[in-house]
Amino acid sequence: MTANVTISNLRDRPEFIECVADRIWRAWWEPHGVPLAYIAARVAETVAAERMPRAFVAHDGVLFAGTASVIASDLDERPQYTPWVAAVWIEPQFRSQRIGRRLIAHAADHAFSIGMPRVFLTARPARRSLYESLGWDVVEEGVSHLQLTIFKRDAGGSSPLPTG
């Protein structure tokens, strides 16, 4: 499937708010018993905020393709790191089309555009080579019981971004 995907500020495409909240909840929070209403409220904050938190949505017209956010904190164990690219989700039918890479770059660029000198993200170790190929540097490994890897990217750093 080849998609004509656009990335928009979720504030400009409010019809995707419920879908974004649902995907984030199902992927990361439902298994831990966190209510969908809590996540929906956090997503609503991204629409109301002026600079951060901020959510972005990838879409092919009215078809939801994915999401990514910029938030102040994504890992309670590391409050010193801020801001974060977080909640990256790509719909299964849109995977392997570089949409996730575009969303991650878009979210990081937003953080830089509001004056943040550095941005972080976290991932499972199996994703290390992907993020390194996108210009992210490892900060820490083996964090939390999930053995997460923390990455950073500095403003002005080069990033091999996809063109499509």
Instruction: Note the pLDDT tens digit of each residue in 33-68.
Output: 999 999 999 999 999 998 999 999 999 999 999 999
CA 73 to chain CA centroid, nearest Å: 12
Map residue 35 onto helix, strand or coil.
coil
pTM of the model as a whole: 0.90
Domain ranges of the chain: 6-115
Cα–Cα distance measured from residue 75 to residue 52, given in angstroms and rounded to the nearest whole number: 16
Question: pLDDT tens across 117-139, in order?
Answer: 999 999 999 889 999 999 999 99
pLDDT in tens, 78-106: 999 999 999 999 999 999 999 999 999 99
6-115: CATH class: alpha beta
DSSP state letters, 107-144: HHHHHHHTT-SEEEEEE-GGGHHHHHHTT-EEEEEEET
Neighbours of 125 (CB within 10 A): 12
The Cα–Cα gap between 148 and 25 comes to 19
Task: Give the count of alpha carbons within 13 A of 33, CB side only.
Answer: 0
Cβ burial of 33 (10 Å; 0-12, 13-18, 19+) is exposed
Kindly state the helix (H) or strand (E) to which residue 58 belongs, with its residue range: strand 54-60
Buried b (16+ CB within 10 A) or exposed e, 73-107: ebbeebeebbbbbbbbbbbeebeebbbbbbbbbbb
